[in-house]
Structure 1
Amino acid sequence: MSAAKTSKTESEPKKPDHVFLVDGSGYIFRAFHALPPLTRADGTPVNAVLGFTNMLLKLISDTDAEYIAVLFDAARKNYRNEIYPEYKAHRPPPPPELIPQFALIRDATKACNVPQLEMEGFEADDLIATYAKQAAEAGAQVTIVSSDKDLMQLIGPHVGMLDPIKNRPIGPAEVEEKFGVGPDKVVDVQSLAGDSTDNVPGVPGIGVKTAAELIKTYGSLDELLERAGEIKQPKRREALQQNAELARISRDLVRLKNDVPVKQPFTAFARREPDAATLIPFLEENQFRSVLARVQGQFAKKSAGEAAAADGVGKGHAAAKQAAAAAKPAGEAAYKLVTTEAELAGWIAEAREKGAVAFDTETTSIDPMRASLVGFSLALEPGRACYVPVGHRGGPPPGQLDLGGDGEGGLLPDQIPVAKAVALLKPMLEDPAVLKIGQNIKYDMLIMAAHGIEIAPYDDTMLISYVLEGGKHGHGMDELSELHLNHRTIHYEDVAGSGKSQLTFDRVPLDKALAYAAEDADVTLRLHQVLKPQMLAERLDSVYETIDRPLVPVVGAMERNGVRLDRKALQDLSADFATRLVELEKQIHKLAGHEFNIGSPKQLGEVLFDEMGLGGGKKGKTGAYATGADVLEELAAQGHDLPARVLDWRQLAKLKSTYTDALQEQINPKTGRVHTSFALAATSTGRLSSNDPNLQNIPVRTEEGRKIRRAFVAEKGCVLLSVDYSQIELRLAAHMAEVPQLKDAFRHGADIHAMTASQVFGVPVEGMDPMVRRRAKAINFGIIYGISAFGLGQQLGIPQGEARAYIDAYFKRYPEILGYMDRTKKFARDHGYVLTLFGRRCHVPGILDKNPARRSFMERAAINAPLQGTAADIIKRAMIRVPPALAKAKLQARMLLQVHDELLFEVPKAEAKDTAALVKKVMEAACAPALELDVPLVAETGTADNWADAH
């Protein structure tokens, strides 16, 4: 050190030590409520632990404190309960899913190398008060990390507070704003106002505002109580005189104890940096992958130094650095608006050089079949992305008053023409040497396909997340960003507004569009760098590489194909349904004796339970009777006509509004077809789900549902081909539970329901009563969905005891099924998920729930998920193989829909027979070579001019 620097250092006054005292309880509950439910593989809930760990690590990183400690409550009861036994008596117990996290949070504090303290008989607030006083008297500056109002009484010349969520200081001005007095009078105000949360009684009828006025007038609580007789308002005067002792007790409860006999001074809380040997194993054990990636990068950088980083320190260090960069807040970014072809060419050239680029499109609609390209974004490394506008318009949206711009709402200047931008992009997006990374990339593929571009190869962060944690949480970018990057993204409403005044993206100003769109690509790239290594480490890449990723273009092609609808048939059905609804209304009103609004649950409940006096009426919180389907079905089963007719009315009204009316509006005017959107990452079991419109929920067993399906028709010269797996989940149950009788029956093509009826009920197959077979069928399918005796009784219309006897007889005949169910539930409890035969994880986060009803529900889900999930994997494998098989055979069929276990095709009439044979062969062999089942898969085919007759 030079002499000049030494002299300067010695001449400066010593900066006061800074002490951070963290309110552990406040951190815990903030973390718990801030994050969605999250469990480890063994089912232990850890969302609060994750949030707490993130907050504590951020605090350590951001603060300049010389001393830091976390103070916890030791128990719910303390010395205040001796003063006032009812203190905090009304506080509900912590949520069941939080209780097992308390000990883990102590472990997290230890892993972060932060001192912690708790003492029996005292609250954390008392420890904070004691250490704040001790440190302040020693000349230190104290910051209490909390927003708890009870701690505001401690604020003074050397003591401040920091709200950890809003990251803003709390000082005397903020206290004055909240309590109407300064910190030194907070206790007096609280003594009068009380606190219902902690059951501090206070003085009845006096709130914070009144208490502040009284304390300002009389100076202190003691002075006020002594002079209470001077108060002019009779009620206020009497309240103070009659409850003076309660006010003094309240003061003892709210006043923090600053002389707790602590065993160590605040100097024992010297700040220490986290130790990799302790922190990393803790993060690994709790599966906090994004935090792990971040801290590994920090440790690696610290240990290696800049020189080592320049020379290269091996692949492990490089990966850690990359993951750490990805986990940085996305706000630390440099985004560029690209408006010239030369600039765009530069970004594209760099993408090809790097070999990977995150890509995202911005359009005028969420429906890719109706959307126009407005712009696109590219990200090359975390924090570095660009947005390329190609379709932004000036002026107001059509139909609004033009107040400026170009006067015509035409394209803004300084944009690359869309045709030129697409021409520049095409070679890179189709380059097999460049990996394109997207979030729900199916949408972007559909948009670019309209411009003649087939994106390949690609990765999808949504699908990677789905393979890792399907069933645990959503997989949208906003949620994943908060969960893995601890970053809140810019939401669409932030740049385009909401409601009726919401703009389409082509009307969003370019500065806002840049921030929003470039962030999308940036966050996608960061998520990829965090999630892809996790997927590989957990060996889940087989599901992703062989099922979910190759399915994307197949489903995209189905959506582009759409399905033709007979508009006239739909119009006729709507008219028919409307006539029948009027007739049903008349019948219902006649049964009720007067007209009422059948669609009003309140009015319906009054008719059923007040006027007609039917039993079983239960009122909810609003005071209205419950009139859900379960209630009406129970009443109908008792023989009451009115609720039965209301059920008919509701079903018909739903079909009319959801399908016969709505489908007419959803016919694309350009194609004359309806184009549903298949969500690839929406269910917990791997099934696809259909949206806008949902074509998977059209009833297949009712006449009305079949009439709607008849409106789905083939193009002229074609037929619709339906290929449907027969009883696939029952076949899988026979294989997975290893039931010899069922496996043998499926191998020999026996009637499985008749066989079950024969074996369970002891009746011969020949001449079997159809009702007996129906009951066996209900049991067969009900068992694999974890049906209860109550549910089976409801379904069959029999007493619960009889239904229980059926289930017991079933398990006695097929004990292997019960064994499978018990094994599956145990596996779910131990791991937090179940597995399909192809290795897909289906998470069941509520499997350890303390609430018996929720736990039972998740146990039933756990039983069915391996069956339904395996069936979903099988049909996905078939879908991937069908298009190349058709192309190889030179058949022109187009796949239109996937509905659970069924695939629907549009086929030239002359090729119907060959196509049916080919698709059947592919579907029945879909498991091979990865899996060989003990039972055969059977796919049944049907062709017709419409969907109903083909199925």
Structure 2
Amino acid sequence: MNFGKGCHLHLIDGSAFIFRAYHALPPLTRKSDGLPIGAVAGFCNMLFRYIEDSSGPDAPTHAAVIFDKGSMTFRNEIYDLYKANRDAMPEELRPQIPLTREATRAFNIACEEKEGYEADDIIATLACQAREAGGRVTIISSDKDLMQLVGGGVEMLDAMKNKRIGTEEVEQKFGVGPDRVTDVQALAGDSVDNVPGAPGIGIKTAALLINEFGDLETLLARAGEIKQPKRRQTLIDHAEQIRVSKRLVELDCDTPLDFTLDDLEVKDPDPTVLLDFLTRMEFRTLTRRVADQAGVEAPAIPEAAAPAADAATDLPEQPPFAPDSYTCVTEIETLEAWIAEIRALGHVALDTETTGLNDMTADLVGISLATAPGRACYIPLAHKAEGGGDGLFADDTVAPGQIPLQAALDALRPVLEDPAILKIGQNMKYDAKILHRYGLRIAPIDDTMLLSYAMHGGLHGHGMDQLSERYLSHNPIPIKELIGSGKSQITFDRVPIPEATRYAAEDADITLRLWEQFRPALHRARVTTVYETLERPLIPVLARMEMSGVLVDRDTLSRMSNAFAQKMAGLEAEIHELAGETFNVGSPKQLGEILFDRMGLPGGKKGKTGAWSTPADVLEDLATEHDLPGRVLDWRQLSKLKSTYTDALQTHINPDTGRVHTSYQQTGANTGRLASSDPNLQNIPVRSEEGRRIREAFVAAPGKRLLSLDYSQIELRILAHIAGIDTLKTAFREGLDIHAMTASEMFGVEIEGMDPMIRRQAKAINFGVIYGISGFGLARNLRIPRAEAQGFIDRYFERFPGIREYMADTTAFAKEHGYVQTLFGRRINTPEINAKGPGAGFAKRAAINAPIQGTAADIIRRAMIRMEDAIADLPATMLLQVHDELIFEVDEGAEDQVIAAVREVMEGAAHPAVHLDVPLVVDAGIGANWAEAH
């Protein structure tokens, strides 16, 4: 094939694949000799998926993986400091680099690199050649430097996000079209590649200048016309540096190549060559998948002692997934045979299929079981007859050939409730609650989602599909293939039983395989204690809290909604008067036109649609100059409170219980903090009066009261302990006002008679430092000049040097080990800690905060796990957890007794595992509703 019109060229950024694989996967070594191969394994899986996905009308006709060869290129001759600030390649990655080239050739994909040139230059040259020949080009990379090539048949694909990058996306990122990207980059510079640019000019300013003057050379020639003195002088003084920067960022579309586009024609891999490479690497799962696909027998890979192998390499050979081999159990005798097998084995993987995701209202449709990899069954219980219709005309006739639901549950009850048989699930809390509503109390349990979370928190998500793809190299059957989506979606009980069997039994099979891999890996990861004391025992505690629910007064919510609507109408009238015309306040587009076109306020930025952008941070800055943006912020806050809470909460009231039953996610945050959904009760605003009022709708049942017990300043106390700040520790031990004490230390003022504003500033710094607040952020919070805010922070670190030392030590530990830990051993992985660019600051702040927030989260988890026994003989029920606060419903007259019992548990929750240098203090409140109690 001669490359031309109708051809489609894929250019894969090989370095991006390698580093993504290296940072995404846990360390892995070859069993036979201990050679690091984790990055190679990830790289091969990416290539395998790439080939699998490259089909259909959009498939490539030509493809190549392009690599960097060496670190010195012609750009170093232009500017000797180019990329001089880059970290050295990790030692364990270095021997894997040549293996990724060998892997590419084994997959029969063209593998290209050239001494003295970057991979980006080769990609640019090939893209330009293909475009000129009339073909299409897809560059598989998210590298911003390649965005200058987009347009005219060339686009990019961010494979990790499955996101296409065209001209609009480039304009959204740089504020200019692809043809002017290098002009903007030349001005803004690049800290990652050490491109100097123009000091003090960022992407936004650079785009404004280029859009105003047309191109870089015109801008530099007319720099004297720029009104802002500092900006004008910068461009005049650094003109040559800017021109050098453009030469550094501009890709070379004339790189001399010793191959042609025709040499890149797509070819199928040679199974013999590919299997030989994979076998030498000892990639068992991928070797088997390639062999299955090629219809040949997988080569044997000899077993060897593993010096430091990943969990997956310790498993025996696993059978391939074969959904058609799963059993559909339709006779009670067959079910009894499975039950006997489970009894003999002592464990079983379990999954339920239901009519919906709400475990308080969904109906049970079937149960799947797995006893060994590849051996799984599905027990249909409530599938409807096929052709029964939908909606009002649905036929609820049960499909024939199913064991009666109660008979099946009665047969399963002895093993599901047997304390000697372990029940394994993925997100087991859901299945436990479903079965609880049908009278089954399943225990003991293991949860693969939480096993992954204990080991891999911060590395990736913990949903079954993601875990299966990552650790089993298997893509599960998508649920949408069975139930559809949107208006045509059906419930699972309408899915034909043969299709349901393949899907449901596969879920149990995947769960069992993950468990077999994760369970023994806990010990190697040194997080067994975390899982056994903080994760697994919390599952039944949260399940009971969720099933209890909290009583919500619909009338209170309705009155609040009406009051919010009236207040919003008043704000709209004020906004219209300030604007001098009426417009839709809820329309960002119309608001942008009022602020930036009609009123001419500064700081406006247009999005890819050409409309002005009006996010909260823009309005907050504008609010210091004009009243209208401040009124809009107030209106938006009320609108959110109304739609998200006072209106939406009414729809979450369970018709049978009259209560709201939130669902807690143990894996909701990397630090161990819980998240909640349907509805989210963790984020009810408390800073505004209106936000606090929403808690009035959460009420106690007749004859009962609500109790709120809340840890006082727990994260500051943990910081004082971890960082060893004697002044803070003494203050906490003596029960002083910590914010007043901090203000006194920083500003040299007496605590008695202190100006409340000074205390407020100290409070903002105390809490801000925990979250790595910047001078800019503190300035915005306190509405003071940035220089003054930065001065406060500098003075704070001078007065409490241990905090800066803690931050430096924690960051260094994270960079060396790739994780940080709480005082209880919870590991929070920090894969982005060594990243460059804008994300680096966030990764550093997250690493510093994680041991503090995570320790606080671990403490309240320990308290919750102990709480049920502590209040078992008291007339009290634990209903909610909101960060550092627990909510209880108690009988009237028992409040003091319950508070005493709960406070004792909460204040002693760290013991005996950790002995803090500061006391934990718990504040308590009582009320007819949550607002009164807190």
Q: Secondary structure at the match of 1:881?
A: helix
Residues 1:854 and 2:839 aligned together:
yes
Alignment correspondent of 1:711? 697
CA distance in 2, matches of 1:779, 1:705: 24
CA distance in 1, matches of 2:13, 2:153: 31
Q: Determine if contact 1:74/1:123 at 8 Å carries over to the other structure.
A: no
Alignment correspondent of 2:735? 749
Paired residue for 2:492, among 492, 497, 505? 505
Paired residue for 2:329, among 338, 343, 350? 338
CA distance in 1, matches of 2:791, 2:37: 41
CA distance in 1, matches of 2:134, 2:104: 40
Alignment correspondent of 2:920? 937
Deviates further, 329-338 or 51-60:
51-60
- Cα distance, 1:494 vs. partner? 1.2
Q: Secondary structure at the match of 1:903?
A: strand
Paired residue for 2:880, among 888, 892, 897? 897
Amino acid aligned to 1:930? A
Q: 1:626–1:55: structure 2 CA closer, same or farther, 3 Å change rule?
A: closer
CA distance in 2, matches of 1:275, 1:195: 32
Amino acid aligned to 1:943? I
Q: Determine if contact 1:724/1:939 at 8 Å carries over to the other structure.
A: yes
Amino acid aligned to 1:916? I
Q: Determine if contact 1:724/1:903 at 8 Å carries over to the other structure.
A: yes
Q: Secondary structure at the match of 1:869?
A: helix
CA distance in 1, matches of 2:46, 2:541: 43
Paired residue for 2:676, among 687, 690, 707? 690
Q: Secondary structure at the match of 1:920?
A: helix
User: CA offsets per residue over residues 454-511 of structure 1, 9 Å max, x none?
Assistant: 2111110000100111111110000111111111111211111011111111111111
Q: 1:477–1:104: structure 2 CA closer, same or farther, 3 Å change rule?
A: farther
Paired residue for 1:580, among 567, 581, 589? 567
Paired residue for 1:561, among 548, 557, 561? 548
Q: 1:292–1:441: structure 2 CA closer, same or farther, 3 Å change rule?
A: farther
Alignment correspondent of 1:913? 896
Aligned length: 770
- Cα distance, 1:272 vs. partner? 9.0
Paired residue for 2:863, among 855, 864, 878? 878
Alignment correspondent of 1:106? 97
Alignment correspondent of 1:842? 828
Residues 1:605 and 2:596 aligned together:
no
- Cα distance, 1:800 vs. partner? 0.8
Residues 1:358 and 2:310 aligned together:
no
Q: Secondary structure at the match of 1:722?
A: strand
How high is the sequence identity, in percent, across the aligned residues?
51
Q: Secondary structure at the match of 1:621?
A: coil
Paired residue for 1:439, among 426, 433, 446? 426
- Cα distance, 1:831 vs. partner? 1.7
Alignment correspondent of 1:386? 377
CA distance in 2, matches of 1:599, 1:790: 28
Alignment correspondent of 2:180? none
Amino acid aligned to 2:564? F
- Cα distance, 1:53 vs. partner? 3.5
Residues 1:949 and 2:899 aligned together:
no
User: CA offsets per residue over residues 537-570 of structure 1, 9 Å max, x none?
Assistant: 1121100000100000000001000000111111
- Cα distance, 1:115 vs. partner? 8.7
CA distance in 2, matches of 1:502, 1:658: 25
CA distance in 2, matches of 1:823, 1:433: 46
CA distance in 1, matches of 2:528, 2:667: 16
Q: Determine if contact 1:605/1:627 at 8 Å carries over to the other structure.
A: yes
Amino acid aligned to 1:863? I
Alignment correspondent of 1:731? 717
Paired residue for 2:519, among 517, 521, 532? 532
Amino acid aligned to 1:193? G
Q: Determine if contact 1:393/1:412 at 8 Å carries over to the other structure.
A: yes
Q: Secondary structure at the match of 1:910?
A: coil
Amino acid aligned to 1:562? G
CA distance in 1, matches of 2:273, 2:638: 71
CA distance in 2, matches of 1:206, 1:34: 27
CA distance in 2, matches of 1:418, 1:112: 52
Q: 1:57–1:571: structure 2 CA closer, same or farther, 3 Å change rule?
A: closer
CA distance in 2, matches of 1:626, 1:931: 49
- Cα distance, 1:687 vs. partner? 0.5
Residues 1:670 and 2:656 aligned together:
yes
Q: Secondary structure at the match of 2:894?
A: helix
Q: Determine if contact 1:722/1:941 at 8 Å carries over to the other structure.
A: yes
Q: Secondary structure at the match of 2:474?
A: coil
Residues 1:464 and 2:469 aligned together:
no
- Cα distance, 1:124 vs. partner? 14
Paired residue for 2:578, among 575, 591, 596? 591
Q: Determine if contact 1:72/1:123 at 8 Å carries over to the other structure.
A: no
- Cα distance, 1:28 vs. partner? 3.9
- Cα distance, 1:329 vs. partner? 4.5
CA distance in 1, matches of 2:381, 2:467: 28
CA distance in 2, matches of 1:324, 1:604: 62
CA distance in 2, matches of 1:781, 1:251: 57
Q: Determine if contact 2:12/2:66 at 8 Å carries over to the other structure.
A: no
Deviates further, 390-399 or 789-798:
390-399
User: CA offsets per residue over residues 228-287 of structure 1, 9 Å max, x none?
Assistant: xxxxxxxxxxxxxxxxxxxxx9999873698xxxxxxxx9x98995699x857xx9xxxx
CA distance in 1, matches of 2:397, 2:42: 47
Alignment correspondent of 1:491? 478
Q: Determine if contact 1:194/1:250 at 8 Å carries over to the other structure.
A: no
CA distance in 2, matches of 1:348, 1:705: 53
Structure 1: runs of 5 or more not aligned: 1-22, 61-69, 86-92, 126-147, 152-186, 208-248, 259-266, 284-288, 306-312
CA distance in 1, matches of 2:891, 2:809: 48
Deviates further, 409-418 or 664-673:
409-418
Amino acid aligned to 1:860? R
- Cα distance, 1:195 vs. partner? 6.9
Q: Secondary structure at the match of 2:893?
A: helix
Q: 1:723–1:56: structure 2 CA closer, same or farther, 3 Å change rule?
A: same
TM-score between the two structures when normalised by the length of structure 2: 0.75
- Cα distance, 1:356 vs. partner? 1.1
Residues 1:805 and 2:791 aligned together:
yes
Alignment correspondent of 1:721? 707
Q: 1:748–1:291: structure 2 CA closer, same or farther, 3 Å change rule?
A: farther
CA distance in 2, matches of 1:483, 1:590: 57
Q: Secondary structure at the match of 1:686?
A: coil
Q: Determine if contact 1:38/1:472 at 8 Å carries over to the other structure.
A: yes
Amino acid aligned to 2:336? A
Residues 1:868 and 2:853 aligned together:
yes
Alignment correspondent of 2:815? 829
User: CA offsets per residue over residues 506-527 of structure 1, 9 Å max, x none?
Assistant: 1111111111100110000011
CA distance in 2, matches of 1:102, 1:720: 57
Q: Secondary structure at the match of 1:791?
A: helix
Q: Secondary structure at the match of 2:537?
A: helix
Q: 1:829–1:302: structure 2 CA closer, same or farther, 3 Å change rule?
A: closer
CA distance in 2, matches of 1:719, 1:59: 59
Taking only aligned residues, the RMSD between alpha carbons, in angstroms, comes to 4.4
List aligned pairs for 1:294-373, cutoff 5 A. 303=302, 323-326=315-318, 329-331=320-322, 334-373=325-364
Q: Determine if contact 2:15/2:68 at 8 Å carries over to the other structure.
A: no
- Cα distance, 1:615 vs. partner? 2.0
Structure 2: runs of 5 or more not aligned: 1-8, 29-35, 52-62, 76-82, 140-145, 155-253, 264-269, 291-296
CA distance in 1, matches of 2:257, 2:277: 39
Q: Determine if contact 1:359/1:379 at 8 Å carries over to the other structure.
A: yes
Alignment correspondent of 1:244? none
- Cα distance, 1:932 vs. partner? 0.4
Q: 1:944–1:400: structure 2 CA closer, same or farther, 3 Å change rule?
A: closer
